């Protein structure tokens, strides 16, 4: 999972090749696509993202309480939308 997140370009290329091959079998071609987000059912990727964000916020001088509040407010926003 970490490889997917760290090397999105390689992952995107692999997905493109696989999807192109499958579509060619039914007479279609994939011209382009945009990958906007990668998720998994276990929450591993989300955990990696959160860890990175926490590190950035710490480097910017945020306290642990401020970091927790930041993530709690994001959860509240997700529930509201």
Residues 47 and 81 in one domain: yes
**pLDDT attached to residue 46:** 84
Which two tokens mark 32?
């382009």
Residues 32 and 57 in one domain: no
Number of domains within the chain:
2
Residues 63 and 28 in one domain: no
* Angle between the N-to-C axes of helices 64-80 and 44-59, in degrees from 0 to 180, rounded to the nearest 10: 130
Which domain range does residue 26 map to?
1-36
Residues 80 and 43 in one domain: yes
Quote the pTM value: 0.52
Residues 50 and 62 in one domain: yes
Residues 1 and 26 in one domain: yes
* Average pLDDT over all residues of the chain: 85
pLDDT of 34-56, one tens digit each? 877 777 888 888 888 899 999 99
Residues 47 and 80 in one domain: yes
**pLDDT attached to residue 35:** 75
- Rounded to 5°, angle at Cα 59 from 52 and 67: 65
* C-beta separation of 66 from 20 below 8 A: no
């Amino acid at each position: 999972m970490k490889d997917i997140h760290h090397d999105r370009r390689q992952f995107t290329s692999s997905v493109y090749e696989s999807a192109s091959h499958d579509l060619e079998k039914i007479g279609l071609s994939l011209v382009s696509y945009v990958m906007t987000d990668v998720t998994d059912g276990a929450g591993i990727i989300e955990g990696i993202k959160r860890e990175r964000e926490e590190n950035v916020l710490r480097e910017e001088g945020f306290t642990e309480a401020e970091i927790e509040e930041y993530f709690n407010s994001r959860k509240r926003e997700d529930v509201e939308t």
